[in-house]
Amino acid sequence: MRSGRFEKGMADDMRSLNASIGFDKRFWREDIEGSKAWARGLLDSGILSAEELEEICGGLDKVAAEIESGEFNFSEELEDIHMNIEARLSELVGTAGAKLHTGRSRNDQVATDFRLYVKRAATEASEAVGKLMQAVVAVAQTCQDVVIPAYTHLQRAQPVAFSHHLLAYVEMLERDRRRFLWAAEQADTCPLGSGACVGNQFGIDREKLQEELGFGSLTANSLDGVSDRDFACDFLYAASMLMVHLSRFSEDIILWTTSEFGFVRLGDEVTSGSSMLPQKKNPDACELARGKTGRVVGHLIGLLTCLKGLPLSYNKDLQEDKEGVFDTHDTILGILGVLATLVKTMEVNRERTSGSLEGGYLEALGVADYLTRKGIPFREAHDLAGGCVKRCEELGVSLPSLSLAEYQSIHAGFEEDLFDAISVEGALADKDVTGGTAPGQVALQLERWKELLK
């Protein structure tokens, strides 16, 4: 864009590098909303007449209609969405349009647009997370009778209710949902009226701007107002944590769908075949969620790196703040929607989950706990239980199949009630504490989540 200060226009490659209209046109709704509020502020300050305000607002409505219909001609020559809209407005309404930018800078204008966008994006993300949570809770509700091995170090550890495992991810998602709500709150501060860097010179009523644009508060320092992008980092951090959790969930599902596990079957809606191998049904939705995690985390690191060396106040480096947020917004909404479909269409293979409890000596801790309840110090009980496992390995049997005589040859404290204590039902019932996997505790958590997610 040329102005009175310059005799020559930009070189073509510099113009392309400098222009942001290719991506910041996504702000057009927020830009028009902010411009209308600013025009009303100019009326109150005596800069605009009532007739000019009406012309400007009517012209902005026409610009919005052109953009929505696809008729608007976005120009790289005009650099960004702000100048594109202002130039078209001036074509439509003449002199009144040229007055709109009085006292306003693109610095506070873009900061306002970006905050409005992030508020909306974070709210949409929290709602989408809530829908996935509802889908997971619904599946957990139908699977209260299913038990699988819990793993540590990817080795079988103890029996756990499948519902309990699923609800672990609901806990993670609830933290993500709250982080997005917090990110929306961090964006809920109005910088409009900060000018280029030190405030506007026409006494525009910023409190009224805040109210009209639906912000919860005003920025208290004009330098910070135009340069702060913490709210964008907050959104990207919330998204990064969400994607880390979705990646972990996806990894579990990928393992569960393998022939080696076979715990679940995924619907055709979220899987693909192979171009070569006819038997394949690939968990592509999960793999894409896992893969796109790096993309989202990368956007957070990119913005943090961009911000780390910037002096106050606005610098053109901040043009790099938007594309990562836009891409992240699209990515997380797409992944959340697909995973909600995946969970809703997922089928649990009860035969395979039941069979998975055989072998692996999942009952070993139960053996140690049994002795501990008889007064034997846990470390000693732990060693004795390890001896029982060793004896099973020598005989090629499981702990429930080892005879009482064999147990008693290791320690005289073993009695017939051991076998009830180390049964799957006994192992689950034994964990009857808040946060435990006992059936009653899982049922309470399900009721809690159903109530919270109404």
Q: For 366-400, how does the pLDDT look when each residue is reduced to its tens digit (9 = 90+)?
A: 999 999 999 999 999 999 999 999 999 999 999 99
Average pLDDT score over residue span 38-44: 97
Burial of residue 303, with CB atoms counted within 10 A of its CB: 0-12 exposed, 13-18 middle, 19 or more buried: buried
Q: What is the pLDDT of residues 167-197, one digit of tens each?
A: 999 999 999 999 999 999 999 999 999 999 9
Euclidean distance between the first and the last CA atom of the chain, given in angstroms as a whole number: 52
CA geometry: angle at 219 spanning 213 and 221, to 5°?
Answer: 145
Q: What is the pLDDT of residue 9?
A: 85
Q: What is the pLDDT of residues 256-287, one digit of tens each?
A: 999 999 999 999 999 999 999 889 999 999 99
Across 174-318, the runs of DSSP E, i.e. the strands, are 189-190, 217-218, 264-265
User: Quick one: which of 342, 332, 227, 202 has its CA closest to 284?
Assistant: 342
d(CA 103, CA 166) in angstroms, rounded, equals 54
Q: Is 274 a catalytic residue?
A: yes
Residue among 16, 49, 272, 274 flagged as catalytic:
274
Domain layout of the chain by residue ranges: 13-102, 107-202+224-355, 364-422
Architecture of domain 364-422: Orthogonal Bundle (1.10)
d(CA 39, CA 96) in angstroms, rounded, equals 10
Q: What is the pLDDT of residue 241?
A: 98
Provide the whole-model pTM. Answer: 0.94
* 62 backbone dihedrals φ, ψ, rounded to 5°: -65, -40
Q: What is the pLDDT of residue 5?
A: 75
Average pLDDT, the chain: 96
Report the 3 state secondary structure along 313-375. CCCHHHHHHCHHHHHHHHHHHHHHHHHHHHHHHCEECHHHHHHCCCCCCCCHHHHHHHHHHCC
User: Which region among 102-111, 275-284, 321-330 has the lowest average model confidence (pLDDT)?
Assistant: 275-284
Average pLDDT score over residue span 287-314: 97
- Long-range contact pairs involving 204-213 (C-beta distance under 8 Å, separation at least 24): 204/38, 204/41, 204/42, 204/44, 204/45, 204/103, 205/41, 205/44, 205/45, 208/40, 208/41, 208/44, 209/37, 209/38, 209/41, 212/37, 212/40, 213/33, 213/34, 213/37, 213/112, 213/116
Structure tokens at 162: 């499948």
d(CA 95, CA 52) in angstroms, rounded, equals 9
Q: Is the pLDDT of residue 3 over 90?
A: no
Burial letters for 256-293: b for 16+ Cβ neighbours within 10 Å, e otherwise? Answer: bbeeebebbebeeebbeeeeeeeeeeebebbbbbbebb
Residue 359: band (very low, low, confident or very high) from pLDDT cuts 50, 70, 90: confident
Which CATH code for domain 107-202+224-355?
1.20.200.10
Residue among 3, 153, 259, 275 flagged as catalytic:
153
User: Which region among 3-12, 118-127, 217-226 has the lowest average model confidence (pLDDT)?
Assistant: 3-12
Structure tokens at 195: 């000018």
DSSP-derived secondary structure letter, 18:
H
Residue 8: band (very low, low, confident or very high) from pLDDT cuts 50, 70, 90: confident
Class level of CATH domain 13-102: mainly alpha
Q: Is the pLDDT of residue 36 over 60?
A: yes
Omega before 240 within 30 of 0, i.e. cis: no
Q: What is the pLDDT of residues 417-448, one digit of tens each?
A: 999 999 999 999 999 999 999 999 999 999 99
At 238, is the secondary structure helix, strand, or coil?
helix
Alpha carbon of residue 179 to chain centroid: 8
Average pLDDT score over residue span 401-406: 96
At 294, is the secondary structure helix, strand, or coil?
helix
- Name residues whose C-beta falls within 8 Å of residue 264's C-beta, 6 or more positions apart in sequence: 253, 256, 257, 346, 347, 348, 349
Q: What is the pLDDT of residue 318?
A: 96
Q: Is the pLDDT of residue 295 over 70?
A: yes
- Within 13 A of 123's CA, how many CA atoms are on the CB side? 10
